[in-house]
Chains A and B, each alone.
Chain A
Amino acid sequence: MGLSTRHLLGIKDLNRADIELIFETADGFKSVLNRPIKRVPSLRDVTIANIFFENSTRTRLSFELAEKRLSADVVNFAASSSSVSKGETLIDTVNNILAMKVDMVVMRHPYAGAGIFLSKHVNAQIVNAGDGAHEHPTQALLDAFSIRERYGSVEGKKIAIVGDILHSRVALSNILCLKQLGAEVMVCGPTTLIPKYIGALGVKVEHDLLKALNWCDVANMLRIQLERQDIKYFPSLREYSMLYGLNKQILDSLDKEITIMHPGPINRGVEITSDVADSKQSIILDQVENGVAVRMAVLYLLAGQTQ
């Protein structure tokens, strides 16, 4: 038993058995995280480099904690304070880090496919912590894990992903992961922020927030990725939040209780209001908690593969 892939570059490379194995392993780590001593010695002979070419709070901290709780040695690297700004290439940077005997690389990069590119050119296991607007596999895994925790299973559940689908790596990974686990997925947002042929992934498309919320069991609210938007996709943030922002009033008007998720960082008052984000229907902080257990499972399963 083991993962069918040597790297975690995207959900695209995982089959259903892989995802279920990650979840079963994460269950074990979640119980470890609730013990007085939240640490196991499994990865004591593994060194992991966290290479972040893009800003991150949650993902970087979550990976770092996961690594430390597995007893791995950890080195951190932020592109802004490194020689990358002196003109070093990605392969050179990573090979230099690997020359210091590093076994695994966790990388976030602003360009789609950076992880895939790296996996073909360097001799280390790569974990993608987000590559541009492409994939963010561990986020999708922890989102699905949180849904499974809330409902017992993901199979047959209806999940609406709302917001900036076009620029979101979380959306793509989530769609692939949820479909793989047998859930129904709908994307919702303004026409300009929904990729043209997204229906090909087997998802429903909706432009009316209220209709999407009435359909779903779980709403995953995404942030507007202003840093990736080269042109104006909608007139104003104020208009966006009027049409696609989730507030208590809309939530209470539904005839059922849906679960609210958000991958963070939240722009309070834009895609979601504070009273919704902090309500008991929201599992936003459970997602963060589960993130550590899921990342521990991924690192554990990848590191366990014999070379």
Chain B
Amino acid sequence: MQNSILLDGQKFQITIQRLCRQLIENHDDFSNSVLIGIQPRGIYLAKRVAEELRKILPGKTILQGDLDITFYRDDFRRRESQLVPNQTKIDFIIEGKRVIMMDDVLWTGRTIRAAMDGMLYFGRPEKVELLVLVDRRYSRHLPVAADYVGIEVDSIASQKVVVSWKETDGEDKVVLLSEAK
């Protein structure tokens, strides 16, 4: 495997902060907006963004939940291995809210399709937006586009994009893994 680091250290931090500022441009004080991280890896992004927003907007309530999409996936009965579900934790009402869904990497768009399906079981939001840290361009299987993008990456299918987080992996970074020739 050959690794190339796409984002780390201060640049990683600046990217998160830029995404937060972009969110504030559209969502003001977040009184009618909520953040939803997609399990398993998107929740770290959502937690980080929520934490950063609370620093920028002290005293404001930033609602953040975790959504598990295991039961809404379209590859059930079609994949070799089975997935164990993660916890869904949304303890607020999303009916009429402006929802910002978050995931670490946007690739085929199928996860986002499943997430939209799963989210609608909690009510009808006023608006749904998508924020991703990494957008693997030109590889979509479904017509899905992100509203807020950390970085864009051109990659091929055999490559992998891995996002690590300080909280769980010890370091904030985005790495592109390629099979060694």
Which residues of A pack against B, CB within 8 Å? 1-2, 21, 24-25, 27-29, 31-32, 35-37, 39-42, 45-46, 300-301, 303-306
Contact = CB atoms under 8 A, between A and B. Distances in A.
The 5 nearest A-B residue pairs measured at CB: A28-B85, A40-B71, A2-B82, A37-B121, A304-B82
Contacts of A1: 81-84
Contacts of B71: 28-29, 32, 40-42, 300
Given A1-B83, A25-B84, A304-B76, A39 B121 contact: yes
Given A32-B71, A41-B117, A21 B76 contact: no
Contacts of A303: 76-77
A132 B118 CA distance: 40
B68 interface: yes
Overall SS of chain B's interface: loop
B53 to A, nearest CB: 27
Contacts of A31: 87-88
B172 to A, nearest CB: 29
B36 to A, nearest CB: 14
A45 B78 CA distance: 12
The A interface is mostly helix, strand or loop, or mixed, namely loop
Interface string B27-48: 0000000000000000000000
Interface of B: 68, 70-72, 76-88, 117-118, 121-123
B83 A306 contact: no
Contact of A28 (B70, B78, B117): B70
A301 B82 contact: yes
A46 B78 CA distance: 13
Contacts of B87: 27-28, 31
Contacts of A25: 84-85
Contacts of B80: 306
10 contacts: A25-B84, A28-B86, A31-B87, A32-B71, A41-B71, A42-B71, A46-B77, A300-B71, A304-B76, A306-B78
A301 B84 CA distance: 10
Contacts of B123: 36
A36 B85 contact: no
Contact of A35 (B79, B83, B86, B121): B121
B72 A304 contact: no
Given A24-B85, A31-B88, A42-B71, A306 B79 contact: yes
Contacts of A27: 85, 87
Nearest to B120: A37
Contact of B68 (A28, A45, A305): A28
A45 B75 CA distance: 12
Nearest to B84: A24
Contacts of B84: 1, 21, 24-25
B76 A42 contact: yes
A28 B39 CA distance: 13
A306 B88 contact: no
A4 B121 CA distance: 32
Contacts of B121: 35-37, 39-40
Given A1-B84, A25-B84, A28-B71, A36 B122 contact: yes
A108 B8 CA distance: 59
Contacts of B78: 306
B89 to A, nearest CB: 9
A27 B122 CA distance: 18
A40 B88 contact: no
Nearest to A297: B85
Nearest to A32: B71
